[in-house]
A and B are shown apart, each in its own frame.
Chain A
Amino acid sequence: MFEVCGLTHFFGGLKAVSNFNLELKGGELVGLIGPNGAGKSTIFNLICGLYNPSEGKIEIKGRNLRGLRPHQVTAAGIARTFQNIRLWPNLTVLDNLRIARHYELGYGLMDILLKTPRLTRGEKDIKDHAQEMEKLLGLDKYSQEQVRNLPYGVQRKVEIARALMTKPQLLLLDEPAAGMNLQEKDDLIDLIRWVRQEFKLTIWIIEHEMRLVMTLCEFIQVLDFGEIIAQGKPEEIQNNPQVIEAYLGKEDL
C-alpha cells in the first residue's frame, strides 16, 4: 500500500537521511526509533511534503507523492501529528477539527458568497463529521473550548482527532508520548490501539519512549545518523548490540 524506496536527503552538505526504505502492506503498526538528531522527524517531513527529498521514491497505493505540496499529500491519505503540538490554539476544538476537512469541502468560493444549498450541505456534512469524531474520542465536552485552554493530554488527543478528520489511510505519529506521565502514556497506548482498529489504519510512530514502542509496534526500525542500523520485531531490536551502542554508547573496558 505504502512504499518508501531509497529516500535520501541532504541539508546543504549534510546527509540527513540516507537510503531509507519501508514497505507497508496496510494495517501494520510500525515504529521508528533512534537517538536525538538521527533524522526521524526529517523522514516524516519528507513524506508529508514539507521538504522535497534529494533522492528516492514515495508512493501510496501506486501514486507518487514526491514533489507534491503538503496539502496534496494529506488529500492522498497521509495525516500526521507533531512532536510539539501544533494545533490552532485560539480556535475551538470543533473548528480545529472542521478545518482538517479543508481538502474536501464539497463546495467552492461562489457557493459561500451565494449561500447555495451545496454550501449548506457541505458545511452540515463537515460539522456532523467533526461532532461524531468528538464523541468517538470523548472530546465533545470541550467542543466550544479554545484549544489553548485545554490540558496537555487533551490537546494531544485533539491533535490525533484532527489528523483522523482528514480520513487518512496512513497515520504518522511524531513522538505522541512526549511530555506525558506514566498514566497518560498507558492511556495513549490504549488510544492508539483503539484508533487503529476503529479506523482500520496503518500507523507509523516515531518515539523515544522505549516501552511504548515495544508494546505497540509489530515492526521497528532504528535510525542513527540518517541510516537504518537495525530493523525487525521488538524482541530482536531489544537485544541488538548495535542498537544498544547507538543509545547507550560503547562499553569501554
Chain B
Amino acid sequence: MIRRPLVFLGASLFLLIIGLSWTGWLDSYTQLILLFIGVNIILSSSLNLINGYMGEFSCGHAGFMAVGAYVTSLLTVWFFTDSSPFGPNLFSPQWAVFFFPLLLLLGGLAAALAGLMVAVPSFRTRGDYLAIITLATSYIIKSAIENIQTIGGARGFMGMKRVINGMEDFVNVPWMMIWTGIFVILTIVMIQRFVTSTYGKGIMAIREDEISAEIMGVNTQKAKMVAFMFSSGLAGIAGGLFAHILGYINPGSFTILKSTEVMVMVYLGGMGSLSGSVLSAVLLTLILELLRPLQVLKWVIVPLLLFLLMLFRPEGLLGHRELTDVFPGLRRLLGVKGRD
C-alpha cells in the first residue's frame, strides 16, 4: 500500500514526462505544449488566489509575469552569456544549472515587489476600482519595459536559449522540463497549504465580509499584502520559466490579452478551486492547440465556449469546490482528507 498516493502520482507523472522527453519519445512540439501547460498552471492557480479566494478582481497578472520574465532573463543572460548589455559573463555557463532556480526565485521576488503597487492601494479601495488599478499597473510595467532601450525596449530581449544550451552542455537532460515541473509542483503544494491554513482562510473571510474580518481579528491589510505578493510572485516565476522556454520575450507578450487568457482559465476552472485551476489550465491550453488548424475560427469557438459557460455554469467547472468534493471516491484513492 502506498502511504501518500497523491505524492506518488505527482512524482511518477513528473518522472515519466522527464524520462519521455529525455529519451526523445516526446517530440519537441509536444514538449513545448507540456511546458506551456506547466506555465499556465502556475499562472491560473496563482491568479485564483486573488480572483477566487480573496474575491478581488485582478486583470493585470501578465504585468507581474513580465517583471519576473525580464528580471530572471536579464540576470541569467548577464551571468552566463557574453551577449548581455551589462558586459561579459560573470560565471562559467555550466553554473547556470545551480543558479537558475535561484534566479527564478529572484525574478519572483521582483514581481512580488511589483505586486505592492496593487497591494497598497487595495487597503483603501476594492472591487471595480481596484480592478482598474491592476489594469493600470500592468500598463505601467509594459510601457516601462518598452521604454528602457538597454533591455531591448519594444524589440524584446533574447539570449536565454544560450543559457539553456550552457546547462545542456554541462548535463544533457531536458532542463526546462525539470525546472517547470518542479515549480509547478511547488506552486500547487504551497497554494494548497496556504488556502487550507487558518491564515489562508482569513483571505476568504475578506472576500465574504471584509469589515467583519477586520473586526474579528484578521489583519486585513497584512493579509491582502501577503495574498497579492504571493500571487504576483508566482506569476513572476511563471514569467521566468516562460522566457526561458521561448528564448525570446518582448513587451507584446505580456499585454491585457495574456491577462485575459489567464482569467479565462480561472473562471473556466472555477473560482476558489485549486484543482479547477489546474484542470482548466490543462484543458484550455490543449483546446487552444487542438483548434490551431482552424486558424481564425479558433477565436470564434473559444469565446463561444466562454459564452456558454457563463450562461449555463457561471461558477465554472468547480466553483469553490475541489475535485475531491465532486468525486468523494477520489479522496480515498488519493489519500487526501476533505477540506477542513
Contacts and interface: CB of A to CB of B under 8 A. Distances in A.
Interface of A: 48-50, 69-71, 74-75, 79-80, 82, 86-92, 94-95, 98-105, 107, 109, 112-113, 115, 119, 122-123, 126-127, 144, 162-163, 166
Contacts of B197: 112, 119, 123
Contact of B217 (A74, A86, A107): A74
Given A69-B214, A69-B221, A163-B216, 7 more contacts: A71-B214, A86-B211, A88-B213, A94-B340, A104-B217, A109-B199, A122-B198
Contact of A88 (B190, B200, B205): B205
A102 B217 contact: yes
Contact of A126 (B198, B200, B205, B320): B198
Given A88-B209, A91-B208, A112 B200 contact: yes
A71 B212 contact: no
B155 interface: no
7 contacts: A69-B214, A74-B216, A79-B216, A89-B208, A95-B204, A101-B217, A103-B217
B334 interface: no
B216 A82 contact: no
B193 interface: yes
Given A90-B208, A91-B205, A144-B340, A112 B214 contact: no
A38 B249 CA distance: 63
B213 A75 contact: no
Most A CB within 10 A of own CB, among B198, B219, B226: B198
A127 to B, nearest CB: 8
A141 B205 CA distance: 22
Interface of B: 190, 193-194, 197-202, 204-205, 208-209, 211-221, 226, 320, 340
A88 B208 CA distance: 5
Contact of A90 (B199, B218, B320): B320
Contacts of A105: 198-199
A93 B221 CA distance: 24
The 8 A-B pairs with the shortest beta carbon distances in the complex, nearest first, are A88-B208, A103-B217, A86-B212, A74-B217, A102-B218, A70-B215, A70-B214, A102-B202
A61 to B, nearest CB: 18
Contact of B198 (A75, A86, A102, A113): A102
A71 B219 contact: yes
B209 A100 contact: no
A166 B216 contact: yes
Contact of B204 (A48, A49, A91): A91
Given A71-B217, A71-B219, A144-B340, A99 B194 contact: no
Contacts of B205: 88, 91, 99, 102
A115 B199 CA distance: 13
Nearest to B193: A112
A163 B217 CA distance: 10
A113 B194 contact: yes
Contacts of A90: 204, 208, 320
B212 to A, nearest CB: 4
Contacts of A126: 198
A105 B200 CA distance: 11
Contact of B199 (A48, A87, A102): A102
A75 B217 contact: yes
Most buried by B among A86, A99, A105, A115: A99
Contacts of B217: 71, 74-75, 100-104, 166
Contact of A115 (B193, B198, B220): B193
B215 A74 contact: yes
A105 B202 CA distance: 11
A127 B197 CA distance: 11
Which of B209, B215, B226, B340 has the most chain A CB within a 10 Å cutoff? B215
A145 B284 CA distance: 33
Contact of A50 (B198, B213, B215): B215
A94 B204 CA distance: 14
Contacts of B208: 87-91
B218 A112 contact: no
Nearest to B204: A91
A98 B212 contact: no
A71 B198 contact: no
Nearest to A115: B193
A102 B216 contact: yes
Given A99-B201, A102-B219, A112 B194 contact: yes
B212 A88 contact: yes
B200 to A, nearest CB: 7
Nearest to A106: B198
A115 B141 CA distance: 34
A71 B218 contact: yes
Nearest to B320: A90
A176 to B, nearest CB: 15
A104 B219 CA distance: 11
Contacts of A69: 214, 219, 221
